[in-house]
Amino acid sequence: MAFSIRMGLPEMEALWNDFATRKQQGKLDKDEEKFFKKLVKALGYLAENPRHNSLVSHEIDDLTRKYGIKIFQSYLENNTPSAGRIFWAYGPDQRDITVLAIEPHPEDQKRGAYQRIKLSSLPSAKSPSGEKRRTNPQ
């Protein structure tokens, strides 16, 4: 069962649109190209199976408490300094996953490491009547 990947508003949607547009135009530099390739691969795994072994997905209790919805972290990369992490939540609709942030891995040993992470909002969801409603984790 595949999931639809959505981007959080407004930051993640803007980031994705910028990278996708510049990729099509051939305007990504070498580092951006490498990052975008890793991101597309990780999002593919996330859509296929959020518990894919390569992602090492797990709930982040500090962020769940802070935002009031279950927030998960998955690996964008591993074994590199400040390895990138994808922060995401299920929703707003069934079979949706929304990417809320992409950040370097916080230093787990430091108290409050996850407090600095700012998440985007969930995009609008369709209610049973078909109208859209906005879901905001903040």
Q: What pLDDT is attached to residue 52?
A: 95
Hunting for tokens 């390569």 — which residue is that?
54
The average pLDDT across 64-79 equals 92
Q: What pLDDT is attached to residue 124?
A: 86
Global confidence as pTM: 0.85
Q: Which domain holds residue 51?
A: 4-135
Q: What pLDDT is attached to residue 90?
A: 97
Residue from 91, 47, 54 nearest 74 by CA: 54
CATH number at 18 reads: 3.30.2310.20
Number of folded domains in the chain? 1
What is the rounded distance in angstroms from the CA atom of residue 46 to the CA atom of residue 4? Answer: 9
With 80 as the cut, is the pLDDT of residue 8 above it?
Answer: yes
- Kindly indicate the confidence band of residue 121, based on its pLDDT and cuts at 50, 70 and 90: very high
The predicted-structure confidence for 17-55, as pLDDT tens digits, reads as follows 999 999 999 999 999 999 999 999 999 999 999 999 999
What is the rounded distance in angstroms from the CA atom of residue 123 to the CA atom of residue 103? Answer: 20
Q: What pLDDT is attached to residue 65?
A: 94
Q: What pLDDT is attached to residue 76?
A: 92
With 90 as the cut, is the pLDDT of residue 97 above it?
Answer: yes
- Kindly indicate the confidence band of residue 83, based on its pLDDT and cuts at 50, 70 and 90: confident
